[in-house]
Structure 1
Amino acid sequence: MKIYKCCGSESITKKYFCAECGSSEFEEKEISDRGTVYSYTKIHVPPAEFAALAPYNVVLVDLDESTAKITTRIKEDVAIGDAVTLKQIDQGAYVYEKIPQ
């Protein structure tokens, strides 16, 4: 997984300009796709295009090797502090799964 860094701020999406300094130059870095559940909510009544997936969790993941966080979808139940890893990217959405303990 790539992250983009400028002025100490890291993001999983490449920006056109840094919000802090206005630079269009970002440091690109490859990091592990593992992280820890920071927050989550369970979706029972989703938008029509995601109806077949319900119920599922929308999870904010604190990435292990970055200060960036990523919003993901996880099918199984999670708890804050669970270790997770990228399973796949589905139609532009990051889909994570719990790491077995």
Structure 2
Amino acid sequence: MKIYSCCGNDSIAKKYNCAVCGKSEFEEKEVSDDGTVYSFTKIHIAPAEFAHIAPYNVVLVDLDEANAKVTSRMEEDVAIGDKVTLDRIEEGAYIYKKAS
């Protein structure tokens, strides 16, 4: 997974300016897409465009090799502290699964 760093802050989204120093130059680096579930919520009643996949989990994953978190979706049940890995990117959404 590609991340962008400045001032010790990492992000998966490329920003125009650093929130800390205001610079527009970021260091790009590749890191593992593995992480740990930091938080989650289960969506039972989804917006119309996602109704066909409900129920599903929206998960905040704390990446192992970066000072960043990524919002993702998981189809399986999950708990805080579970180790997870990126399964695929589907229509711009990160889909994680439990690590083996």
Q: TM-score, normalised by structure 2?
A: 0.97
Match of 1:84 in 2: 84
Give the secondary-structure state (helix, strand or coil) at the position aligned to 1:49.
helix
Alpha-carbon distance between aligned partners in 1 of 2:66 and 2:7, rounded to the nearest angstrom: 14
Give the secondary-structure state (helix, strand or coil) at the position aligned to 2:18.
coil
* Matching of residues 1-101 of structure 1 within 5 Å: 1-100=1-100
Give the secondary-structure state (helix, strand or coil) at the position aligned to 2:19.
coil
Alpha-carbon distance between aligned partners in 2 of 1:22 and 1:38, rounded to the nearest angstrom: 28
RMSD: 0.6
Q: TM-score, normalised by structure 1?
A: 0.96
Alpha-carbon distance between aligned partners in 1 of 2:9 and 2:96, rounded to the nearest angstrom: 23
Structure 1, unmatched stretches of 5+, are: none
How many residues of Structure 1 are paired with residues of Structure 2 in the alignment? Answer: 100
Alpha-carbon distance between aligned partners in 2 of 1:19 and 1:73, rounded to the nearest angstrom: 26
Alpha-carbon distance between aligned partners in 1 of 2:65 and 2:38, rounded to the nearest angstrom: 14
Alpha-carbon distance between aligned partners in 2 of 1:99 and 1:19, rounded to the nearest angstrom: 32
After the TM superposition, list the runs of 4 or more consecutive aligned residues in structure 1 that deviate by more than 4 angstroms: none
Give the drift of 1:19.
1.4
Alpha-carbon distance between aligned partners in 2 of 1:39 and 1:17, rounded to the nearest angstrom: 27
Give the secondary-structure state (helix, strand or coil) at the position aligned to 2:73.
strand
